[in-house]
Amino acid sequence: MFTGLPLFPEQASSVAPQVDALYFYLIAVSGFFSVLIATLVVYFALRYRRRSESEVPQPIHGSVKLELVWTLIPLAIVMFTFVWSTRVYFAMHRVPPGAMEVYVVGKRWMWKVQHMTGQREINELHVPVGVPVKLILTSEDVIHSFFIPAFRIKKDAVPGRYNSIWFQATRPGTYHLFCAEYCGTKHSQMIGSVTVLEPARFQAWLTGDGSGVSLASAGERLFNELACVTCHRADSVGRGPRLEGLFGKQVRLAGGETAVADETYVRESILNPAGKVVAGYQPIMPTYQGLVSEEGLMQLVAYIQSLAAPEGGSPLGTPEEPAPALPEAQRGEPAPPPDRARDLGKP
Amino acid sequence: MSTTQPGADARGEGTRPPAGPPGAPPVAEPRPSRVNYLNVSYGVKSWLLTTDHKRIALLYLASVTLMFFLGGAFAVLIRLELVTPPGDLVQSETYNKLFTLHGIIMVFFFLIPSIPAVLGNFLLPMMIGARDLAFPRLNLASWYIYTLGALFTLYALVNGGVDTGWTFYPPYSTQFSNTHVLAAGIGIFINGFSSILTGLNFIVTTHRMRAPGLTWFRLPLFVWAHYATSLIMVLGTPVIAVTVLMVAVERGLHLGIFDPTLGGDPILFQHLFWIYSHPAVYIMVLPAMGVVSEVVTCFSRKRIFGYSVVALSSLAIAVIGFLVWGHHMFVSGQSTFAGMVFSLLSYLVAIPSAIKVFNWTATLYRGSVSLQTPMLYAIGFIGLFTIGGLTGLFLAAMGLDVHVHDTYFVVAHFHYIMVGGAIMGYLGGIHFWWPKITGRLYPEWWARIAAVVIFAGFNLTFFPQFVLGYLGMPRRYHYYVEEFQVLNVMSSAGASILGVGYLIPMAYLVWSMRYGPKATANPWGAIGLEWETPSPPQTENFPRSPVVTWEAYEYAPEEEARVV
Amino acid sequence: MTGASSHVVPVRVYVGVFAALLVLTGLTVWVASLDLGAWNTPVALAIAVSKAALVILFFMHVKYSPRLIWIVVASGFFWLAHLTAGTVADYVTRGWLGTPGS
Amino acid sequence: MSSAAETHEGGLHPALAHHFESLPAQKEAATLGMWLFLAQEVMFFGGLFIAYTVYRNLYFDAFAAGSHHLDVTLGAVNTAVLICSSLTMALAVHASAIGRGRHAVVYLLSTVLLGSVFLGIKVVEYHDKFVHHLVPGPGFSAEALGVTGEVARSAETYYALYFAMTGLHALHMVVGIPILLFLAFKAHRGAYGRDYNTPVEMTGLYWHFVDIVWIFLFPLLYLIGRH
C-alpha cells in the first residue's frame, strides 16, 4: 500500500535474530488466537442470531472438560514462551569473555561515550563489527535509557549505579541511538547514531581520533592526582588493600561476607569506603563523593581493571602531593551540574 | 421455581419473570406520574447533598465525562503534533505537559472511577437487592474527595502544567522538573482516598446487604468483578498514596528517599509505584469485564458459560495481578532473578483473562444472539481485549521486552486494554443501562453507527503503533525520525475518526434524556434484580426488598439446562 | 445482641493483656541490649508481632469476631508481607544469576 | 437509655439508617468497614515500611548510628503510655457496651489525656532532633551522630523515614483525639448504651490500630544495633 513503509527494523546484532524469532513466534500465537476468537464470535453471532423475539435457547451450564482445555493449553504455551524469552534475556546479559568495554554516561540531554582506549564521543558510538561490546552505563542526573533498535537492546542508565548490557554488531552501517526513558524537556532530542565499522576501518578510526590517552591511563593520572597511591601501594605495605590483580576477584569483607570486586564494587568503595571494608583493613579511607565526576569514576574503574591484567599496571611513582584532607562533615552533596542548579531554584 | 416472594406488590415487581418468553417485559408501563429518584426532589442542593447512590453515580457520570473530554483534548493535540516528525506545533515543554496531563487525567480521573463509580455505584446495590450502599454518606464523601483531587490537578494544569509523565519517576520528578509536581501529586494523593472509600463501600455492601436468597454464586458477574476490583482499590491504592507523599516530601524538603545523590534509590520508587499502578490496570478492566458478562448473557439470552469459573477468574486476576509489577522494570537494573519471577507470574495472570474470553465466546454458542448496541460494544471489547492481552505476552517476555520496553509498542498495548477494553466496556454499559438510569431509550441506529466508528477509528489509531514500537520509536517523543512518519500519520488519522466517534454518543445520549422514547422497566428482556424495578427506579430501589430464588442469568428454566 | 463483635469481654482480661503488653515492652528493650548476632531483628519483630496479636485479639475483639474479620485482618498483614517480600527479593538477589553490572 | 428498649419493640432507633434491617446488621457492616479501613491503613504505612526495610538492609550502619541518637527511655515510656491509653480505650468500649455511660466518659477522657502525654513526649523528642540538626533537609548535620561521608548521608535517609513514619503516626493520633472528645461529649449526653455503641467501638478499633503501629515503630526505629 505504502512504498517504503517499514514494518521491521534492521537486524544488525547477533541477538537481533533471536529477538525477532521470538517476536514472530508470538505474532503467530497471537494471530492464531485472535483469528480463532474473532471467527468464533462472528460465526456464532450470525449462525445463532435471534430469529424470533420469543425464542429461548436451551441453557448450557458449562463444561469442565472445555475449561480444562482452555486453561491448560494456554498455560503450556505461556510456560514455553517464558522459558524461551528468559533464555534470550540471558543471552543479552551474559557477556562473553574478552568483550570490548565502553563506558556510557547519560546527561540531560546527551550521551557521553568513553572508549577504553581513550576516545570520547558525544551522541555517537563507533564499534567494530563482529566484536562483543559491553556497555557500562550510568547517569549524571536523571534516569535515561540507552536504546539501539537495530541491535534490539536497551538498558536504563540509572544515577548512582552501573548497569550493563552487551551486543555484537553483525553489519557495518549507521544505526539510530535513542534515549528511551523520559528525561525531561529535550528527551526526544537525546538521540544519536551508532556506527559499525569493519575492523580495519575501526582501527583507522581509533588512530584517527587524536585523544591518545587511554581510559586506564587517564584513570592512572587521576589515581595519582587524588593520591590514592599513598595507601593503595603496589608493594602490599600500604594502609589500604593492594589493587593489583584485584579486579574481578572475590574479596573477603570485614563482616565475614564476600563481594566480587566488579565495577559497582569499586565505584561504591570510592564513594562509600566504609561500606564494604576488606577484611584486615581499617575503615580509614575518606569518601571521594563529590570529588570525582562520573567520568572520572569510570576512568578509575578502568585503571583498577587494567591492574588486574597479568602484566600488571605501569610502575607507580611516589606521589609528591599530600593526601587530601578528610572532607569532614561533608554531606556528600556533589556539586550540582549547572543546569541542575538552575532547576533547583524552582519556585 | 419462580416463586413470588411474600408481599410482592400488584405490579409484580420483585418476582422473577415467568419462565416463558423473556422478550416480553415482565413489568407494566410505569404510570406517568410515578415518583422516581430523578424527580423526587429538585434543586442543586438536593443533588449536592444527596446520599442516594443513584444520584451520586450521576454526579460521577458528569465529572468523569468532563475529565474524559479534557484528557481527550490533550490526546488530540498530541496526535496533531505527531503528524510531522519535527516538533512544529507546540514546544517540547508543552508537548511533555500534554502527555503527562493526558495520562494523569485519563488514568486517575477517568478510567479508575469510570465504571466502578458510575455504573458500579448505580447498579451494585440494585443488583443485590439493597436499598443503598452500606455507607451512603461515605459514598457522597468519595465524590467530594474525587472533586477536590481533580481541583488540585486542574490547579496544576491552569498554572502551567506538570511534565514528569504520569509515572512521576524520580529523580526527575523530585529534583529536576520545575513544573507543578506537588499540586498534581497532592491531587492524586487525595483522589486515591476516593477510590479506597468506594472500594470499601462495595466490599461491605456485597458482604452485608445482599437480598435474602442471593448467595455468592447467584450474584451477577458484574458484582463479582466489582468485588475483585474493590479488593485492589482497598489494598493497592494506599501504597501509591504514600509513595506520592514520599515524592512530595522529597521534592519539598530535599530529603534523600529516592534521589541517589542524597542516598536514595530511584529503583525503589519504581517498585512502590508499580505495586499499585500495575493492579490499577485491573481496576480499569475488571469492571469492564463485568459489564461484558452482563451484556453477552442478555443479548444471547443464555446463562453464561462456566459461571463459577468466570466469577473466580476475577478474583484470580485481582490476586495474581498484584504480584507482577516487576515486569515494568526489566531494563531498569532490577535483579535478573526477580525479573524471572515477575515474568513467570505475569504469564500466569494471562490465564484467567484467557479463560474469560473463551467463556464469553462459548456463551454465544447456541444462543439467541441479538446485535444491538451494547452487544456491539461487548463484541468489540472481546476482540480488542484479546489483542491487548495477547500483546501483553510480548511484554512479559523478558528477552523481547528489552527491545519494546518504553516504545510505542507499549503505548499501543495498554491503549488496547484501557481504551479498547475499559472504554468499550464503559460505553457498552452506559448504553445497556441507559434506559434504567434515565428512563429513556437512546436512538439505536445512531448508536450502532457510533459503535462501528469508534471500533474502526480505534484500530486505525493504535494498530500502527505496534509496528512503530517494534521499529523502535520510543514513547514520549516530541521529535521523531522521518521513517516513522507514515505510521504516525495513519495513527493520527485514526485518532480523528475516534474523536468524532466519541462525540456522537455524547450528542445523542444528551438528546435522548429529553426526547428519547420512554423505556419500560426491562427493555432488553434481561435477567437481574435491577431490571425488576421501574425505569428510572425510585429512591429506595425496590418497593419491597426482593427475595431471590433463582440462579444468575436464568433465561430459561433450570430443568432444561444441560452440561456439555 | 446478635453481632458477635458485641461480645462483652470481662475487665480482668483487659487488665491481663495490658500487663502482658507492658512486660513484653520491657522484654524488647532488654533483648535489644544483648548481642544475638543475626537474631536481634527477628526476636524484636517476634515480640512486636506477639504484642500486636494481643491487641488485635483482645482489645480489638477479633478473638470473638466472625471468620470474615479474621480473614480481613490476616489478608491485610499477609498482603503487606507479600509486597515487602517481592520488593526485597529484587535487592537481595541482585548478585545472583549474573546481575547486570557485575 | 430509654430509647434502648424501644428497638426491641419495633420502634426505630434514631441511629438506625433507612437501608438497614436492624441495628446489629448495621453494626456488623460498620465493623467490617472499619476493619477494611484498617487494612487500607496497613498498606498505607506499609509503603513506608517497605522503604524502611530496603534502606535498613542497604545502609545498616547509618541506621544504627541514627537510631543510637534516639532516646530509648523516652521511647519505652511512650510505648507504655500508648499501651495505657489502649487499655483505657478498651475499658471505654466496655463501659459503653454495658450501659455505664459515666464510666465511658471518664475512660474516654483518660485516653485523650494519655494520647496528649504521648504527643507531648514526641514533641520533646522532635525538639531534641531539631536542636541537634537532625531534621532532614538543608539544615541537616550528622555531627551529633559522629559519622561522616556516605554514612552521614544515609543517616539523613534514616531520619527522613523516622520523621515520615512517626509523623504520620502522630498525625493519626492528632486526628483521633478530637474524635474521642466528641465521643466523650456524646456519651455524657447518654447517646450510647447496651443496644448502640458502634461509634465508640469503631473509634476503639482505630485507636488500637494506632497503638499497633507504634508497637512496630518502637523496636524498628529505636532499637537498631543497640547491643
In a 10 Å sphere around its CB, with 0-12 CB exposed, 13-18 middle and 19+ buried, how is residue D95 labelled? Answer: buried
Higher pLDDT, D1 or A270: A270
Of B438, B345, B342, B429, the residue nearest B381 (C-alpha):
B429
Domain assignment of residue A340, yes or no: no
If you count DSSP H runs as helices and E runs as strands, how many of each does chain A have, helices first? 7, 12
Place of cell 425464542: A55
Q: How much is the pLDDT for B24?
A: 42
Mean pLDDT of A139-144: 93
Residue type, A292: V
* Residues B466, B533 contacting (CB under 8 angstroms): no
With a cut of 70, list the residues of chain C below it in pLDDT: 1-7, 95-102
Distances (CA, A) of A38 to A25, D86, D172: 20, 61, 53
Residues A123 and A264 in one domain: no
Residues A234 and A132 in one domain: no
Residues A178 and A242 in one domain: no
Where do runs of H (alpha helix) occur along chain D?
2-9, 23-58, 60-68, 72-97, 101-131, 149-188, 198-217
Mean pLDDT of B154-179: 92
Half-sphere exposure of A256 (CA within 13 A, CB side): 2
Where do runs of H (alpha helix) occur along A286-334?
294-307
Q: How much is the pLDDT for B55?
A: 96
Residues A90 and A228 in one domain: no
Higher pLDDT, A306 or C100: A306
For residue B454, name the pLDDT band (cuts at 50, 70, 90).
very high
What backbone torsions phi and psi does residue B18 show, to the nearest 5 degrees? -60, 150
Number of domains in chain A: 2
Per-residue pLDDT tens for A187-240?
Answer: 999 999 999 999 988 988 887 765 567 777 788 888 888 878 778 877 767 777
Task: Kindly state whether B399 is in contact with chain C, defined as any CB-CB distance less than 8 angstroms.
Answer: no
- Asked whether the beta carbons of residue C5 and residue D28 sit closer than 8 angstroms, the reply is yes
Q: Which residue of C has its CA nearest to B203?
A: C72
For residue A100, name the pLDDT band (cuts at 50, 70, 90).
very high
Higher pLDDT, A293 or C76: C76
Domain assignment of residue A326, yes or no: no
Residues 6+ apart with CB under 8 A from A201: A172
Mean pLDDT of A126-130: 94
Residues A234 and A102 in one domain: no
Neighbours of B, requiring at least 3 CB pairs below 8 Å, are A, C, D
User: How close A204 gets to chain B, by Cα (Å)?
Assistant: 30
Per-residue pLDDT tens for A148-201?
Answer: 999 999 999 999 888 999 999 999 999 999 999 999 999 999 999 999 999 988
Q: How many CB atoms lie within 10 A of CB A330?
A: 18
Angle of helix D23-58 relative to helix D60-68, nearest 10 degrees, comes to 110
CA A119/CA A205 separation, integer angstroms:
10
Q: What is the CATH number of the domain that holds A180?
A: 2.60.40.420
Task: Kindly state whether A41 is in contact with chain D, defined as any CB-CB distance less than 8 angstroms.
Answer: no
Contacts of C9 in chain D (CB under 8 A): 90, 94
Residues A116 and A80 in one domain: yes
Residues A36 and A163 in one domain: yes
- Asked whether the beta carbons of residue B371 and residue A180 sit closer than 8 angstroms, the reply is no
Q: How much is the pLDDT for A130?
A: 93
Q: How much is the pLDDT for C9?
A: 85
Q: Which residue of A has its CA nearest to D60?
A: A275
Q: How much is the pLDDT for B562?
A: 62
Point out the residue among C86, C91, C98 whose CB comes nearest to the CB of B336.
C98
* Cα B421 to chain centroid, rounded: 8
Domain assignment of residue A57, yes or no: no
Residues A35 and A179 in one domain: yes
Q: How much is the pLDDT for B560?
A: 63
CA B441/CA B517 separation, integer angstroms:
5
* Residues B213, D50 contacting (CB under 8 angstroms): no
* Residues A333, B261 contacting (CB under 8 angstroms): yes
Please name every residue paired with A258 in a beta bridge, in sequence order, or none if there are none. Answer: A252
Task: Kindly state whether B261 is in contact with chain C, defined as any CB-CB distance less than 8 angstroms.
Answer: no
For residue B544, name the pLDDT band (cuts at 50, 70, 90).
confident
Sheet containing A153-157, strands listed edge to edge, beginning at the edge strand earlier in sequence? A124-128, A192-197, A173-179, A144-148, A153-157
First to last CA, chain A: 52
* Residues B460, B490 contacting (CB under 8 angstroms): yes
- Asked whether the beta carbons of residue A331 and residue D61 sit closer than 8 angstroms, the reply is no
pTM of the model: 0.88
Residues constituting chain B: 564
Residues A170 and A244 in one domain: no
For residue A60, name the pLDDT band (cuts at 50, 70, 90).
confident
Q: How many CB atoms lie within 10 A of CB A207?
A: 11
In a 10 Å sphere around its CB, with 0-12 CB exposed, 13-18 middle and 19+ buried, how is residue D4 labelled? Answer: middle
Percent over 90 (pLDDT), chain B: 84
Of C23, C20, C21, C13, the residue nearest C61 (C-alpha):
C13
User: How close C5 gets to chain B, by Cα (Å)?
Assistant: 15
Q: What is the CATH number of the domain that holds A233?
A: 1.10.760.10
Q: Which of these three, A157, A192, A212, is where a domain ends? A: A212
Mean pLDDT of A96-116: 91
Per-residue pLDDT of chain D (227 residues; tens, 9 = 90+): 334 333 444 467 888 888 888 888 899 999 999 999 999 999 999 999 999 999 998 888 889 989 999 999 999 999 999 999 999 999 999 999 998 889 999 999 999 999 999 999 999 999 999 999 888 877 888 888 887 777 888 888 899 999 999 999 999 999 999 999 999 999 999 889 888 899 999 999 999 999 999 999 999 999 987 77
Is the confidence at residue B5, as pLDDT, over 60? Answer: no
Residues 6+ apart with CB under 8 A from D182: none
Point out the residue among A271, A275, A328 whose CB comes nearest to the CB of D148.
A328
Place of cell 570490548: A100
Distances (CA, A) of A94 to A142, B344, B420, C91: 26, 20, 38, 20
Residues A66 and A178 in one domain: yes
Q: How many CB atoms lie within 10 A of CB A325?
A: 7
* Helix (H) or strand (E) run with residue B136 in it: helix B136-158
Per-residue pLDDT tens for B199-257?
Answer: 999 999 999 999 999 999 999 999 999 999 999 999 999 999 999 999 998 888 877 78
- Grid coordinates of A254: 570485614
Of B321, B297, B291, B236, the residue nearest B116 (C-alpha):
B291
CA D95/CA D102 separation, integer angstroms:
8
Residues A164 and A231 in one domain: no
Domains of chain B: 44-545 (1.20.210.10)
For residue B350, name the pLDDT band (cuts at 50, 70, 90).
very high
CA B103/CA B111 separation, integer angstroms:
10
* Residues A156, A165 contacting (CB under 8 angstroms): no
Percent over 90 (pLDDT), chain A: 45
Domains of chain D: 22-222 (1.20.120.80)
- Asked whether the beta carbons of residue B268 and residue C94 sit closer than 8 angstroms, the reply is no
* Residues B547, B128 contacting (CB under 8 angstroms): no
SS3 of residue A139 by DSSP: strand
Task: Kindly state whether D39 is in contact with chain C, defined as any CB-CB distance less than 8 angstroms.
Answer: yes
What backbone torsions phi and psi does residue B407 show, to the nearest 5 degrees? -115, 180
Least confident range from A283-292, A329-338, B70-79: namely A329-338
- Asked whether the beta carbons of residue C101 and residue A161 sit closer than 8 angstroms, the reply is yes
For testing the chain D interface, which of A270, A288, A330, A344 should be mutated: the one with the most D CBs within 10 Å?
A: A330
Angle of helix D198-217 relative to helix C40-54, nearest 10 degrees, comes to 170
| Residue C70, preceding peptide bond in cis (omega within 30° of 0) | no
Q: What is the mean pLDDT of chain B?
A: 91
Residues A165 and A239 in one domain: no
For residue A309, name the pLDDT band (cuts at 50, 70, 90).
low
For residue B25, name the pLDDT band (cuts at 50, 70, 90).
very low
- Asked whether the beta carbons of residue D40 and residue B234 sit closer than 8 angstroms, the reply is yes
CA D107/CA D207 separation, integer angstroms:
13
User: How close C82 gets to chain B, by Cα (Å)?
Assistant: 8
Q: How much is the pLDDT for A286?
A: 77
Chain A and chain B share a number of CB contacts under 8 A equal to: 328
- Grid coordinates of A199: 575492523
Residues 6+ apart with CB under 8 A from D177: D112, D115, D116
Domain assignment of residue A54, yes or no: no
Q: How much is the pLDDT for B440?
A: 95
Mean pLDDT of B324-334: 93
What backbone torsions phi and psi does residue A270 show, to the nearest 5 degrees? -75, -40
Half-sphere exposure of A159 (CA within 13 A, CB side): 25
Q: How much is the pLDDT for A324?
A: 38
**Beta-sheet strands, E only, within B140-249:** none
Could you tell me the residue ranges of all domains in chain C?
A: 7-60, 65-94
Give chain B's radius of gyration (CA, Å): 23
- Grid coordinates of B539: 429512591
What is the DSSP pairing of strand A124-128 with strand A163-168?
unpaired
Domain assignment of residue A327, yes or no: no
Q: Which residue of C has its CA nearest to B335?
A: C94
Q: How much is the pLDDT for B559?
A: 64
Range of the domain at A83: 8-45+62-212
Domain assignment of residue A342, yes or no: no
CA B316/CA B348 separation, integer angstroms:
10
Of B250, B245, B273, B252, the residue nearest B262 (C-alpha):
B250
CA D56/CA B34 separation, integer angstroms:
65
For residue B166, name the pLDDT band (cuts at 50, 70, 90).
very high
Higher pLDDT, D87 or A242: D87
Indicate the DSSP class of residue B521. Answer: S
In chain D, which residues touch A (CB < 8 A)?
Answer: 61, 140-143, 148-153, 156
Residues constituting chain C: 102
Residue type, A109: W
Task: Kindly state whether A274 is in contact with chain D, defined as any CB-CB distance less than 8 angstroms.
Answer: yes
Of B204, B190, B202, the residue nearest B237 (C-alpha):
B190
CA A180/CA B476 separation, integer angstroms:
9
* A108-A109-A115 Cα angle (round to 5): 95
